[in-house]
Amino acid sequence: MAVSLAQGGPPPFFLRVWCSQYLCTGDYDSIQVTTSDVTDLEFSLLIEKVNSTDDMSKLTDEILSCGYTGQVSADMKSNIIRAIVLHSTMRVVPMLDQLRKGLKLYDLQKVMEMHPGEKDDWVDAGFILENCHPVFSDKGSVKYTKEVNVMNFLQDFLQEVEDRDGEAEQKTAGKVMQWMTGQRHKPIFPSDQKDFNITVKFNHDCD
């Protein structure tokens, strides 16, 4: 990861927010984790069971194995779920610690500690459209009219894609940008974002 960044490559784009925050700070106590951060199927199913039942007696052993020490009852659901979430995410911390050691290459860890807010943001429709620079034909020509219609259609399409980002197996703005440019994320630094552009050229002879 450090070598990729040093050579101008893209930053990693697979970490959860809390993992990225931990890599920057090394402070787990200040990290906020939720049920959406639980990626282990076993613990995800356990959370679903806790949420869907008021009879915790059958789940007592599983709950206690997650380090929960309070009363196992329906009234304590939120505390039980919190314990499961913490237990699940804490298992990842030793791996993140190893990664932090590796990031000391080129002093990348120190850079991350100094700039914890410099992270890769999701691409939205606005970012793509702001950075699109269409090369139009002469104003008033038939080609120009067609090209403007294409750009208007692209704008409507991107807006529709963004509205449907939360739906399963749908296109996302990031995927559209990856198709257009080869990358699906914003440039990591503001200076790179400033110089980032998507040149749109029209081929009127295509089928």
| Residue spans per domain, the chain | 2-114, 125-200
Per-residue pLDDT in tens (0 to 9) along the chain, 207 residues: 888 877 777 667 778 889 988 988 888 888 889 998 998 999 999 999 999 988 888 899 999 999 999 999 888 999 999 999 999 999 999 999 999 998 888 888 888 888 776 555 678 888 899 999 999 999 999 999 999 999 999 999 999 888 875 554 467 888 888 888 888 778 766 777 788 888 999 988 877
- pLDDT of 109 reads 84
Q: How far apart are CA 41 and CA 155, in angstroms?
A: 38
Q: How far apart are CA 9 and CA 106, in angstroms?
A: 15
Q: What is the four-CA torsion angle of 193, 186, 3, 179, rounded to 10 degrees?
A: -120
Sign of the C-alpha dihedral computed for residues 17, 19, 24 and 25 taken in this order: positive
- pLDDT of 118 reads 56
Q: How far is CA 56 from CA 52, 61, 73, in A?
A: 10, 10, 6
| Number of C-beta neighbours around residue 59 at 10 A | 15
Which pTM does this prediction carry?
Answer: 0.58
Token pair, residue 7, equals 């050579």
Q: How far is CA 12 from CA 85, 121, 157, 195, 196, in A?
A: 24, 11, 28, 20, 18
Longest alpha-carbon distance in the chain: 76
